Amino acid sequence: MSEFDLIRRHFNRPAPNALLGIGDDAALFQVSAGNVSAISTDMLVSGTHFFPDADPFLLGHKTLAVNLSDLAAMGAVPRWATLAIALPQADDVWLERFSAGFFALAQQHGVDLIGGDTTRGPLNLCVSIIGEVPPQLALRRDGAREGDDIWVSGELGDAALGLAHLQGKVALPQAELATCLTALHAPVPRIALGLALRGIARSAIDISDGLLADLGHILVRSQVAARIVFDDLPLSKTLRDSGQSKLALSGGDDYELCFTAAVENRVNIEHIAAELQLPLTRIGTIVAGTGCVVHDVNGHTINIEGNGYDHFN
Ligand code: ADP
Ligand code: MG
């Protein structure tokens, strides 16, 4: 199979959002009136982000999901994507499954694949995602203010617990393992939440490297500090029972949103949670200063060492 057969067979699909999709030297598209484009790139490397024998369908899903998650955290509508892929060999069965996982999620969100690059090499998957958002409504990291509530969506730590099992650090029972592996391999990008939070959240980020690490980016960019109540964190029963609850602070790969909002917006946010059928939990407060303090309900500070994933540390 030639490179071009491979692209035609596995990646060339209609691109109704674009003026020109796959097949030329560049794709052409137009952003809707009143919007600017939001672009983000995320790469998944074999051996670093996934095991070399990972299920290709789930890998296709996750490659796009982690990118969609960045646009969710920006309050943007995802529209176009490019895919750069390095493959050790042209394995038709693998590519069929990978593209099926990728396009299933792309279709759900109305995203067109409009270009990319294909080379031989160690398995490496890199998506650039492009979306649109009215510039004044983009959910940035630099908008948090003293007094804001800090919120997170969904439940934290299950993906990291699943990874800990695969690494032999914990041993989960079958049913619990299945839940945690779904969280790890099939994250749900919170696009609808990002859109609902336009004009409500003052800052937002997606949790890819762990709550403390990612909230830390909001704090630095906004020049504020945070107090988190550990007992208020939304943990699954599985995580509570595992004795690894601290993974909710440091574990990566959750792809939930962490955001801050004025106290006046509590009721609005509760309505959003009900409408989206997605738990939204208040976990702390933005305060003056720098850094983040985690304490329990009694006000005792909890020691937080190792605060998220860093590729070079
Ligand atoms: P060029 O030589 O100009 O870089 P390529 O031969 O790499 O173009 O690619 C041919 C066309 O196929 C281009 O439109 C490119 O965007 C698209 N393409 C290549 N690889 C992929 C891929 N993995 N997914 C989607 N589109 C791809
Ligand atoms: Mg090329």
What is residue 5's predicted lDDT score, i.e. its pLDDT? 93
Provide the H-helix boundaries in the chain. Answer: 3-10, 56-72, 92-108, 158-166, 174-185, 191-196, 211-222, 237-242, 247-250, 266-276
Closest CA to 241 of 175, 176, 159: 176
Mean pLDDT, the chain, whole residue set? 96
276-280, long-range: CB < 8 A, 24+ apart: 276/192, 276/193, 276/196, 278/153, 278/154, 278/190, 278/193, 279/153, 279/154, 279/155, 279/234, 280/151, 280/152, 280/153, 280/193
Q: Looking at the CA of 24, name the nearest ligand.
A: 1
* Ligand 2 ion: residues within 5 Å (CB): 117
pLDDT in tens, 69-92: 999 999 999 999 999 999 999 999
Section 139-162 average pLDDT: 98
24 CA → ligand 2 middle, Å: 10
- Whose CA is closest to atom 19 on ligand 1? 117
pLDDT at 127 over 60: yes
What is the CB-side half-sphere exposure of residue 253 using CA atoms within 13 A?
A: 24
Angle 153-198-279 (CA atoms, 0-180°, nearest 5)? 20
pLDDT in tens, 196-246: 999 999 999 999 999 999 999 999 999 999 999 999 999 999 999 999 999
- Whose CA is closest to atom 16 on ligand 1? 115
> What 3-state class would DSSP assign to 178?
helix
What is residue 50's predicted lDDT score, i.e. its pLDDT? 94
- Whose CA is closest to atom 1 on ligand 1? 25
Q: Which residues contact 25 (CB under 8 A, 6 or more apart)?
A: none
Block residue for tokens 């759900």: 108
pLDDT at 168 over 60: yes
Q: Looking at the CA of 3, name the nearest ligand.
A: 1
pLDDT at 138 over 60: yes
- Whose CA is closest to atom 7 on ligand 1? 117
Alpha-carbon distance of 74 to 9, in angstroms, equals 33
Beta pairing partners, 20: 28
What is the sign of the dihedral through the CA atoms of 230, 187, 312 and 216? negative
Closest CA to 34 of 141, 139, 136: 136
What is residue 313's predicted lDDT score, i.e. its pLDDT? 56
Strands 292-295 and 225-229: parallel
Answer yes or no: pTM beyond 0.85.
yes
Q: At what angle do helices 56-72 and 92-108 cross, to 10 degrees?
A: 30
Identify the burial level of 160 via C-beta atoms within 10 angstroms of its C-beta, where 0-12 means exposed, 13-18 middle and 19 or more buried.
Answer: buried
Tokens, residue 7? 């692209």
pLDDT in tens, 272-308: 999 999 999 999 999 999 999 999 999 999 988 755 5
- Whose CA is closest to atom 3 on ligand 1? 25
What is residue 1's predicted lDDT score, i.e. its pLDDT? 79
CB–CB of 6/42 below 8 Å?
no
Section 46-58 average pLDDT: 95
Closest CA to 57 of 4, 105, 108, 115: 105
CB–CB of 144/260 below 8 Å?
yes
pLDDT at 102 over 70: yes
Output the ligand 1 site: residues, CB below 6 A. Answer: 7, 11, 22-25, 83, 85, 113, 115-118
- Whose CA is closest to atom 21 on ligand 1? 116
Best mutation site among 2, 4, 7, 103 for ligand 1 pocket (most ligand atoms within 8 Å of CB)? 7
Best mutation site among 22, 44, 96, 98 for ligand 1 pocket (most ligand atoms within 8 Å of CB)? 22
Alpha-carbon distance of 295 to 217, in angstroms, equals 20
Q: Looking at the CA of 5, name the nearest ligand.
A: 1
